[in-house]
Amino acid sequence: MSDRLIKMQIPIILTAIIGLLMIIEFFFPMPATITNLNITLRSFVTIISAAALILGTIVLTIYHGKKVGTKGSEWYYSIVYILAFAITAGLGVINVRDTTFLWIYNNMTSPIGAALYSLTAFYITSAAYRVLRARNWEGAILLVSALIVLLMLIPIGAILFPPVVPIGTWIRNIPSGAGFRGMIIGTSLGIMGLGVRVFLGRQKEHLGIREERRGSE
Partner 1 sequence: MALIVEGRLIGLVSLLIIAGSIIYYMQRAYAGQLPKLRRLAAVNQIDEILGRCVEMGRPAYYLMDTVNMDTPSVLAPTVAAFQILAYTARSAARLGAKFFVPVVQGLAYTISTEIVDEAYRAENKSDELKLEEAVMYLPDGADRMYIINHMWSDGMAGAFFIGSWYHKAVIFTENAARVGAMMLGGTDTTHNIPFIVAICDYSIIGEELYALGAYVSEDPTVSSSLAGQDVGKFIALILIILGSILLTLGISIKGLLSM
Partner 2 sequence: MSLMDKMLALDQRIIFALLFLALAFPILNPVILPMDIQKYSRDSFEFADSIPAGSVVLIEGGLGAATYPQGGPGLEVQIVHLLQKDVKLVFFSISTEMAQWTVTAINNALDNLPSGVAAENGVNWVHLGYVPGGESGVAALANDIRSVKTEDHFGTPIDQIPIMANINKASDFAACFWWGGSEGSIPYGVRQIVTPFGIPMTGMCTTNEVPNYTPYINSGQMIGIIGGVRGSAEYEYLMGMPGLALGQAMATNFGGLLWGILVVLGNILYFIARREEGAD
Instruction: Note the residues at the interface with partner 1 (CB under 8 A).
Output: 23, 26-29, 45-46, 48-49, 51-57, 59-60, 63, 112-113, 116-117, 119-120, 123-124, 126-127, 130-132, 142, 180, 183-187, 189-198, 200, 202-203, 205-210, 213-216
At its nearest, how many Å lie between partner 2 and the CB of residue 132?
A: 5
At its nearest, how many Å lie between partner 1 and the CB of residue 44?
A: 10
Angstrom distance (rounded) from CA 216 to CA 214: 7
SS (H, E, C) the chain: CCHHHHHHHHHHHHHHHHHHHHHHHHHCCCCHHHHHHHHHHHHHHHHHHHHHHHHHHHHHHHHHHHHHHHCCCCHHHHHHHHHHHHHHHHHHHHCCCCHHHHHHHHHHHHHHHHHHHHHHHHHHHHHHHHHCCCCCHHHHHHHHHHHHHHHHHCCCHHHHCCCHHHHHHHHHHHHHHHHHHHHHHHHHHHHHHHHHHHHCCCCCHHHCCCCCCCCCC
The burial of 161, by beta-carbon neighbours within 10 Å (0-12 exposed, 13-18 middle, 19 or more buried), is given as middle
At its nearest, how many Å lie between partner 2 and the CB of residue 94?
A: 18
The interface region with partner 2, picked from 58-66, 119-127, 190-198, 204-212 by CB under 8 A, is: 119-127
- Does 176 contact partner 2 by CB under 8 A? yes
- Residue from 150, 189, 196, 209 in contact with partner 2 (CB under 8 A): 150
Neighbours of 191 (CB within 10 A): 10
The interface region with partner 2, picked from 77-85, 112-120, 192-200, 202-210 by CB under 8 A, is: 112-120
Is 56 or 65 the residue whose CB approaches partner 2 more closely?
56
Is 13 or 191 the residue whose CB approaches partner 1 more closely?
191
Binding mask 34-63 for partner 2 (x = CB under 8 A): -xx-xx--xx-xx-----------------
Interface residues with partner 2 (CB under 8 A)? 22, 26, 35-36, 38-39, 42-43, 45-46, 109-111, 113-114, 116-117, 121-126, 128-130, 132-135, 143, 146-147, 150-151, 153-159, 165, 169, 172-173, 176-177, 180-181, 184
